[in-house]
Chains A and B, each alone.
Chain A
Amino acid sequence: MNLSEHASILIVVIPLVASFINIFLIFLKRSLCYPFFVLVLGICFALSIDILYTVINFGTVRYKLGGWMPPWGIEYVIDYLNAYVIVIVSSISFIIAIYSKDSVKKEITKARLPYFYSTYLLLTTGLLGITITGDIFNLYVFLEIASLSAYALIAIGEKRSVLASYNYIIMGTIGACFYLLGVGYIYIITGSLNINDLTRLLPSMYESKVTLTALAFFVVGIAIKIALFPLHRWLPDSYTFAPSAVSAFASATVTKVGIYVLIRISFTLFEPRFLTEITPLSNMLIWWATIAIFFGSIIAIGQTDFKRTLSYILIAEIGYMVLGANLGNKEGFIGAVLHMLNDAVMIACLFMIAGGIFYRVGSRNLEDFNGLNKNMPITMSAFTIAALSMIGIPPTAGFFSKWYLILGAIEARHWISASALIFSSLVNAFIFFKLLEKVYFGKNVGVLKYNFRELPLSMMIPILIMALAILIIGFYSGEIISSVIKFTVPAGF
């Protein structure tokens, strides 16, 4: 059996099975759980690279589950866009898995650790499943697997996290149910669930009201899942109170995968012209996203909690991606897709740093950043890089996606969206330079209180990898665009 041939199914099945095995490992030997957990995610990462390689060299991968021919059987379809998102998800989950070793110990009781690992693996399964599948109902199932494990993971955090998790459950379920309704309507008029099949069938039904209803349900459902303002209420609390590793992982991947689904639905399931000419959805989403950017940025200024600040910045960043994808030109779309990668890396890095600071200082309050540079210079240099990238200073990665997004907005003559992007850069500059000033020039009030040194290696190395990745991705953005992202742009653009 050729392993590479089945990579697309293995990448979903391996973490799924591993999450069960992990629980049984408790009875065998507790200390094995963590290495096993990292190993599995390492394998996933390797597989994802292999899939990307296959896609680049041999084109779209189609894997028929159980040998059933589509559209009857479930089909896994991997083109450039999936392969790209799969690599993002699996690499981030792998790196944060390493990071979680020490970080989680401080925030979760020891007895719960193996369950944490299992749930984490389930979340990975769900996210990878969403991206890999070519069937809209199967996508719903994976969406719920991912969401359920995310609810659980968030609930493990500090005290307030339970309530946050509950709100997330309510909102998330509404989102998922709306999505399911959309699936139902699509199924009623076409009798198919296979995305490729639907791409073929749907154009003749664009005028039907049922199609419009389905689209509306899809978009609102996914908007809840990606926390697009004003449906964002669950996000800040959840990511603030969840364990740091979870915040980092979920913020970096869950929303990106959601954006992926949105792009899939809007531009693969339907044709771009459906969103621009037949319905005003693209235009609506542009305004919607623009407001989200303004809102997220403005609220982020007023926060005193670092993780909450990051959460609101994330809400603005989600706006970036939705905006870029809907601008209706190549530049904007490239910007959005590139930003999926950049934002994942930046946000993960910043949340990991937040976790690191919490690990040492025991606080997430912005006031406690004073003079941290004296204690943890290496982590803080990583923080500086991530912050500069958030602002969009070249040559960090953040600049390049922002460049394309602004270019796209101007190309589409959407001046307000362009100014929203710039406004959010300025807000980020304000927030992060205020912090950097504290970090580098602040007076460390209780020197004795902060008598500690750098983070443990298991936390510092992942942070450094992410910081370096920001720089490397920045320098290779042209390469990434020309070898992957260029091919994800829908045909109509």
Chain B
Amino acid sequence: MEIIIGKYNYWIYISLMMIGFYAMIAKKNLVKKLVGMNIFQTAIILFFISTAYKKDATIPILVKSQEAINPAQYINPLPHVLMLTAIVVMVSTFGVALAVIMMIYKQYKTLDEDEIIEILKKKK
């Protein structure tokens, strides 16, 4: 029990990631795959952010008047910064993928993987 409740953030991230992963692999609709990809990436963001959290800590903004700086009082800002970058990367991946999906739709008039494969087979 300890391992489940004490590390619940990891369990959530893992289950989210697996949902996304499953969708990416198993779904036949290309857009659904993309949604899966998004969940997958979001899970990773969650993972990073949750590692930065400390109990009873506050956001890392220094106020000038404060006397001594105690690092334990602040949550770790670095993962947040990293994730800002990662979000940008993920959004652009998503953008490119959507553009590609539009091109696919123009070509095949469908977004179902099986149907596309069917069309490709016919062409041969």
Binding site for B on A (CB under 8 A): 137, 140-141, 144, 148, 151-152, 155, 159-160, 162-163, 165-166, 169-170, 173-174, 177, 180-181, 184, 187-188
Contact = CB atoms under 8 A, between A and B. Distances in A.
Interface in B71-97: 78-79, 82, 85-86, 89, 92-93, 96-97
B25 to A, nearest CB: 8
B36 to A, nearest CB: 9
B89 A144 contact: yes
Contacts of B92: 144, 148
A159 B33 contact: no
Interface of B, helix, strand, loop or mixed by DSSP: helix
A119 B13 CA distance: 34
Given A174-B40, A181-B47, A141 B100 contact: no
B37 A166 contact: no
Contacts, number: 64
B100 A165 contact: yes
Interface residues of B, number: 29
A169 B96 contact: yes
Given A177-B40, A184-B48, A166 B97 contact: yes
B24 to A, nearest CB: 6
A141 B89 contact: yes
Contacts of B33: 170
Contact of B107 (A162, A169, A170, A181): A162
Contact of A166 (B21, B40, B89, B101): B101
Contacts of B40: 173-174, 177
B57 interface: no
- Residue with the greatest number of chain A CB neighbours at <10 A, chosen from B33, B40, B41, B86: B86
Contacts of B12: none
Given A162-B100, A173-B40, 5 more contacts: A140-B89, A148-B92, A162-B107, A170-B24, A184-B48
Contacts of B78: 187
B18 interface: no
